[in-house]
Structure formats: C-alpha cells, structure tokens
Amino acid sequence: MTRKEKLLIEIYRLKNMIAEVEGNPRINLEQLQQTPQFDREAKNSREYRLKEQIESLKQTYQNIVEQKSQDDCREAYYATPEGAAHKARLEETIKKKVAERKEMSRQTTESVENRIRQLLGAHWGVKYFDRGILCIGVIDLNNSCSEQRKFIFGQEITIRYEEQDYWSDAERFGSDCNGAGSFSMQGGSTIGERAMFYVGIGKLYGDSETVEWLRITMRDYNRAFDRFRQEMNSLRFELSTPISKEEAR
C-alpha cells in the first residue's frame, strides 16, 4: 500500500468515527480499498492535502465528541426534578423577555408615528422600525385598509442612528430618501403629490425639537435592544449549558 493510500484510508477511518458518533452509516473500508474509485482518488490526491484533511477531521471529531458529551450531560440533568425545574424557569423567562421586546417595539413605533403625524399630518406613518433604522413615508390612503397599509412609492425617508459608528466611533444620525424625479412647481397641497412629500420632508428637517426627539428615541431604543440581546444570549447559553447545584459547588 502506498503512502497516499494509507493516508486516504486514515481519512475514511476518521469519517467513520465521526459517523458513528453522529449515528450515521459507516463505510466498509475493506470493500472501499477494492474499488477503482479508491485507486483513482489516491492517485489523483496530493499527499500534503491528505495530511491537511486528516488534521481537520481529527479536530472535527474532537469537537463532535465534546459537543455530544455536553448534550448528554444536559439531557441527563434536565431529566432530574431539579433540572426540569431549572429548564422550565429558563424557558418561561425567555418567553417573557421576547414578549417584553415585542411590546417595547410596538410602543416605540406607536410613539414615533404619533409624533410624526402631529407634525406632518395623518397621511404620514411608520413603514419600518427596528434597531438603528426608522423608515417613514406617505400612506397610500386609497389602497390601504386596516389589515394592510401601503405607502406611496418613492415618498419615504429612512433615518439611521448609531451611538458609536463602526468606522469612526462617533455618533451617527443621518437620513436618505429616494430621488423625486421631475414634478410640477405648482401645487404641493394634495396628498400623493411629490411636491407635498418634499414639503413634509422640509418641515421635518426644519423642526429641531422633533429631530432631537427622534435622535433620543432611537438612541434609547438601541440601548434597550442591546440589553435585551445580551440577556437573551445569556439565557440561551444557560439553557444549552446548564449547571446543577452540585456542579456549581
């Protein structure tokens, strides 16, 4: 047997070890060595590539064994009365946190929309709001209903906020909107007109009090969202890697 054939056999041996841990079918190595495909694979392979693959499979096998051990310990712990109670508490806490997050988003969106409408009119609304991004626009009243609200194409503005920008570490609070194209210099008083959209945009930019309120609101929402994400990461980690009282001691 050549060196490359020996290395290739080692690769398939490691793959069998991984398959056994994962509960998958294994390859018959004796039959494999008798096939033309094995001869071609060994012949066309480079020795250093085979060695690299062996090291990678060894690491993969080690990781899978460690993960299975953790999974087995977790399931054994959750099968105990103490573990079952611990799991139930964690799952209930996660459920409450998710509900709190949704309610926070709903209340903030409603607050932002009310503030925008007070300034620009009831035909404006929030199209999208999440961490760091707010999109407002003119509602297409003729094609909207209580179940589904539509916005007039091209009559939206996106506002973005980051307390610490990734590139500069400085606060970033900016906006962008779609190009207006050409529109009449006359009018600007009818909902749906491009001119009226830009009248609203100018009114928003010119109201420093509302602009500052939006900045503070988006900042506070981002901070709350980041706290929620940290709490959820911690809870989910504890759920996947619980520690019993005996282990903690």
Boundaries of every domain in the chain: 3-78, 98-238
Report the b/e string of 71-84 with b at 16+ CB within 10 A: eeebeebbeeeebe
What is the edge-to-edge ordering of all strands in the sheet holding 172-177?
A: 124-130, 133-139, 151-162, 172-177
pLDDT for 181: 65
pTM of the shown model: 0.76
The rounded average pLDDT for each run of 10 residues, N- to C-terminus, in the chain (249 residues) is: 92 95 93 92 92 96 92 91 94 96 95 95 93 93 83 90 82 82 71 84 94 96 96 93 58
pLDDT for 132: 94
- Do 218 and 161 meet the contact criterion of CB atoms below 8 Å apart? yes
